[in-house]
Structure 1
Amino acid sequence: MKLTAEQIEYVSNYIKSLDIKWYELQVEFTDHMVTSMEEIWDKDPELTFHQVKQYAESKFVGHSSFKSIVEERKRMLQKEYNRSQRKMIAEFLKFPKIIGCILLGILAYQGSFFFEKPSKYLQVLFALLLVSAIPGLYHFIRNYKIQGKRFLAVSYYSLSLTSILSFPQIGINLSNGFKDEIQQNHLLIIPLICIWVIGLLFCATGVYLDIKHTAKVKKQYQLN
């Protein structure tokens, strides 16, 4: 027995009442619930709408099961994000793209000779990574809600901000910790510049993935 539009709306509002704020999960849970209810009703047409709803709800083991599904989806998105980012970075470390990374590292190394204290130069270099937070932050704020709806696939992919903030901190701490050694041996800058290049790749690929997945969500749900 098919549910009416009003009954489907009732189920949708029930799903929203479970504090599931992500639009795509609201749609998915509503579809699963409606399908389950229609199957139960086909088997026993004598049941009332609310009885069918309770039976269908029991398949999800109530509110806690919905929450566990949300957490599992977050873990899946995290895994997918990490895998995609690692794959992109690995491509930059292969020929011919690695040539660009090497040239960037050489330019960064040459720039250190214009500073009296190489450790200060490294701190400036890593601090500049924070500039890449601007497009990521702008993208996050702009797409926090898309047409009044929040999407887990968009909000959770804003992990590039974490990379952007962590790499400068790591680089600055290492530069401070080994400033005396770096002052005595200029070649010690090289491994730190390698870390800086990797950090730049993490930041750039993170922002790219954010934009890519936002576009995918907009296309899937036909949003502007």
Structure 2
Amino acid sequence: MQLTAEQIKYVSDYIESKDINWYELQVELTDHMVSSMEEIWEKDPELTFHQVKKYAENKFTGDSSFKSIEKKRKKVLRKEYNSEQWKMIAAYLKFPKIISGILLLALTFKISLYFEEPRKCVAVLFLFLLFAAIPMLYTYLKSRKIDGNRFLEIEMINPIPIIFGGFINLGLSLGNVFKEEIDEYPLVLFLFCCLWALAVLCLITGIQLQNKTIKRIKKQYQLS
């Protein structure tokens, strides 16, 4: 026995009322619950809509509750996102892309040596990345809601941890700790340049992955 459009809307609103704010999860959980209700109703047509809904609800408890499913999905998406980004970074470390990376690293290191206090150059390099990440932050804030809907996948590519954490924050923090060593030992300076180059790759791949995710979501859900 199939649910009517009005009944499906009721189920969708019910799931949203359970603090499930992500559109793709709302759609997925609504489909699962509607399918479950239709199976129950098929077996016992004498049940009322609310009785069927109650029986279906019992399947979404404990580890299978709506919030538990959301938590698991976040974990899976975060793992997939990190894996995809590291694959993209690895691609830049292979021929022929690695040539441009080596040239950038060599140029950065050579320029740093001209500074009387190379640590200042290191600080400028990492601070530059903070400003370079602003467009990524703008795109994220602009796309947090698409046609009034929020998406968990977009939330998982939140650039704020990249901007204020990760290799950028690590570079600034370590640069402050080892500022004397940076000025005194070229090898230490070179290692910081390597860390900066890795941070650049994280930023570039983060932007690419962000654009790819937003484009795919718009296409999948036919959003503007």
- Same structural fold, with TM-score higher than 0.5 when normalized by the shorter chain: yes
Name the amino acid aligned to 2:97: K
Q: Matches of 1:22 and 1:165 in 2, distance apart?
A: 25
The CA distance in 1 between the partners of 2:197 and 2:122, in whole Å, is 12
User: Which residue matches 1:68?
Assistant: 68
Helix, strand or coil: the match of 2:65?
helix
Q: TM-score, normalised by structure 1?
A: 0.95
Amino acid in the other structure paired with 2:93:
L
CA gap 1:8/1:124 in 2 versus in 1, 3 angstroms = same
How many angstroms apart in 2 are the aligned matches of 1:118 and 1:107? 14
Residues 1:196 and 2:196 aligned together: yes
Matches for 1:109-124 after TM superposition, within 5 Å: 109-124=109-124
Indicate how the Cα distance of structure 1 residues 172 and 127 shifts in structure 2: closer, same or farther if over 3 A, else same: same
Q: How does 1:100-115 map to 2 (within 5 A)?
A: 100-115=100-115
Q: Contact conserved, 2:60 with 2:66, CA < 8 A, in 1?
A: yes
The gaps in structure 2 that reach 5 residues or longer are: none
Aligned partner of 1:161 in structure 2 is: 160
Contact 1:101-1:197 within 8 A present in 2 as well: yes
Q: Does 1:51 align with 2:38?
A: no
- Are the equivalent residues in 2 in contact too, given 1:89–1:202 (CA < 8 A)? yes
* Aligned CA-pair RMSD: 1.5
**Equivalent pair of 2:147/2:223 in contact (CA under 8 Å):** yes
| Whole-Å separation in 1 of the counterparts to 2:59 and 2:84 | 34
Provide the aligned length of Structure 1 versus Structure 2: 223
Q: Secondary structure at the match of 1:45?
A: coil
Matches within 5 A, 1:124-163: 124-158=124-158, 160-163=159-162
Any idea what SS the aligned residue of 2:46 has? coil
The 1:190/1:197 distance shift into structure 2, 3 A limit, reads same
* CA-to-aligned-CA distance 1:104-123 (integer Å, 9 cap, x gap): 00111121133210111111
Whether the 8 Å CA contact 1:132–1:164 is kept in 2: the answer is no
Name 2:99's counterpart in structure 1.
Answer: 99
Counterpart AA for 1:195: L
- Offset at residue 197 of structure 1 (A): 0.2
> Aligned partner of 2:164: which letter?
L
In the TM superposition, residue 169 of structure 1 has moved relative to its aligned partner by 2.1
SS of the residue aligned with 1:59? Answer: coil
Letter in 1 for 2:47: L
Partner Cα distance (2:33, 2:108) in 1: 57
Q: Identity percentage over the alignment?
A: 55
